[in-house]
Amino acid sequence: MTQKQSDGAGPSGPQPGGPEGGALGHQRSGGPFWRTARPFRALLVGGVGAASLAALVLTAAAGFEQPYVALAFCLVIAGGELARITLPGNRESAPIALAGAIAYAFLIGLGGEASHHTAWQVVAVVALGVALGELPHVAVGRSPRLEDVARRVLTALLLAAAFRPLVEALALTGPSVAVALLMTGTVALAWALDVALSAVLRAERLRTRLRVALRDEARAQVATGGAIASSGVLIALACTVTGLVGLLVFLAPLLVSQVAFRRHAEVRRTYLETVRALSRVTEVGGYVENGHSRRVSQLSHGIACELGLAEAELLELEYAALMHDIGQLSLREPIAGGATVLASPREQRRIAELGSAIIRETGVLDNVAEMVRRQCEPLAGDGDEGVPPLGSRVIKVANAFDDLVGENGDAERRAAVVERLRMDTDREYDPRVVDALSRVLERR
């Protein structure tokens, strides 16, 4: 195998993977819903959808309690859903909508008048508000991730089911320390359940380990979760005394926080897009095949998820995989087909070191530069530095595979290349990484 093939059907996959993009392990199912590659997601969306429809029917039949209050919260939830944001890690969040949903689930009174709406009415109002807020997004082609929408409705359902019966049983009519503690404990439990649920969905989507996904989700949601939960509780308590004025007053701080979160997400997204643009310089210059860096990045991400890397490590790996060939810009003559796997070890080492030096100039990507520098080393390492970082070993396997297969290699060729890589696992390639590569390719 000395050159790439261009015939046959290439491996399919989503657009750039990694923490900011789609998951390489995600598959579309063309069969019945019970054969989907993500059964837990299908169960969640179907269950929440059925519960929302039942709540709407039952509430409409019985009539809305305090309809003007329900309308006010419905509009707030719709506005919050309309202003939803995408946070790092490709996480959709609607802080204002969720805070409004929490507040309505906890509402025990309004300006001195007791509120007796049922848990079913809470679910109906939240589901209707979410649907109204998502309609403009759908109209312009920005369809939401259904599992994230379902999680927001499910959170309101759980809070209402746990808290509304207590309101009637304990005859709660006004704010107190006990009521505040009860709300805080209930929303904390709901947040913990939501983190666990999102971790299961993430593990299912990325095909990574549940323990890793749980840790990533807890870290990612602690800031937003605290802000949203506290705002929801404060709104519910304030509305008891001030009426609907409290709804507007206590949403203002959350609105400021949402703007800050949005800016942070945009900075992260711009940074990644800059790295992706930089990675295309080698393709535009004719040093590597078009799409090579993207394919290596996708493949590295899928392998890393199989191996259980955390989200921060996945992001660094994506940067390194995108820029792993940037050292080729220093070559006088491009390598044939851009396949560094066919170059001499000395040439590979020179390309890796030059690429690492370029990346270090940024001053903030030292770990990425180290991964790039050691990507060509054998399994046992080169010299006294020991075994290369796992990210370097992943890039080495993903790069070699794409160099030998290219964009349009057929299934037989892909299998042959994997076997070739297995033959060198005693000295060149990490056998765990090659096994993970094989599993990723099987899912494709």
Report the C-alpha gap between 431 and 242 in whole angstroms: 65
- Residue-range definition of the domain harbouring residue 59: 33-271
Q: Is 158 found in the same domain as 253?
A: yes
Phi, psi of 93 (to 5 degrees): -140, 145
Looking at the domain assignment, is residue 281 inside a domain?
no
Q: Is 219 found in the same domain as 137?
A: yes
CATH number at residue 312: 1.10.3210.10
Q: Is 304 found in the same domain as 261?
A: no
Looking at the domain assignment, is residue 21 inside a domain?
no
Q: Is 392 found in the same domain as 439?
A: yes
Looking at the domain assignment, is residue 12 inside a domain?
no
pLDDT attached to residue 122 = 96
Does residue 63 sit in helix, strand or coil? coil
pTM over 0.85: no
Q: Per-residue pLDDT averaged across 139-150, rounded?
A: 92
Q: Is 210 found in the same domain as 322?
A: no
Q: Which amino acid is at 151?
A: R
pLDDT attached to residue 213 = 94
Residues in the chain: 444
Answer yes or no: is pLDDT of 3 > 70: no
**In this structure, are residues 395 and 300 in contact, taking their beta carbons and an 8 Å threshold?**
yes
Report the C-alpha gap between 324 and 302 in whole angstroms: 17
Parallel, antiparallel, or unpaired: how do β-strands 109-110 and 113-114 relate?
antiparallel
More confident call, 204 vs 283: 204
Q: Per-residue pLDDT averaged across 74-89, rounded?
A: 91
- pLDDT > 90 fraction of the chain, expressed in percent and rounded: 52
Q: Is 194 found in the same domain as 124?
A: yes
Report the C-alpha gap between 165 and 158 in whole angstroms: 12
Q: Is 243 found in the same domain as 310?
A: no
**How many Cβ atoms sit within 10 Å of the Cβ of residue 55?**
25
Q: Which amino acid is at 302?
A: G
Looking at the domain assignment, is residue 278 inside a domain?
no
Confidence of residue 30 (pLDDT cuts 50, 70, 90): very low
Q: Is 54 found in the same domain as 169?
A: yes
Structure tokens, 315: 């992001």
Looking at the domain assignment, is residue 198 inside a domain?
yes
Report the C-alpha gap between 342 and 443 in whole angstroms: 28
Confidence of residue 139 (pLDDT cuts 50, 70, 90): very high
Which of 246, 271, 296 is a domain's end point? 271
Structure tokens, 141: 């082609």
Report the C-alpha gap between 19 and 317 in whole angstroms: 10
Q: Per-residue pLDDT averaged across 199-221, rounded?
A: 92
Q: What is the DSSP code (8-state) at residue 11?
A: P
pLDDT attached to residue 36 = 52
pLDDT attached to residue 121 = 96
The closest of 363, 368, 364, 367 to 326, measured between CA atoms, is: 368
Answer yes or no: is pLDDT of 190 > 90: yes
More confident call, 51 vs 380: 51
Least confident of 3-12, 32-41, 157-166, 421-430: 3-12
Split into its structural domains, the chain has a count of 2
Q: Per-residue pLDDT averaged across 214-242, rounded?
A: 91
pLDDT, tens digit (0-9, with 9 covering 90-100), for 315-369: 999 999 999 988 888 777 777 767 788 788 888 888 899 899 988 887 778 899 9
Q: Is 427 found in the same domain as 304?
A: yes
Looking at the domain assignment, is residue 108 inside a domain?
yes
pLDDT attached to residue 38 = 86
Look over the chain and give the mean of its residue pLDDT values, rounded to a whole number. 86
Q: Is 51 found in the same domain as 128?
A: yes
Q: Per-residue pLDDT averaged across 269-278, rounded?
A: 84
The closest of 239, 249, 213 to 104, measured between CA atoms, is: 239
Q: Is 431 found in the same domain as 348?
A: yes
Q: Is 429 found in the same domain as 382?
A: yes
The closest of 22, 440, 436 to 205, measured between CA atoms, is: 22
**How many Cβ atoms sit within 10 Å of the Cβ of residue 266?**
12
Looking at the domain assignment, is residue 15 inside a domain?
no
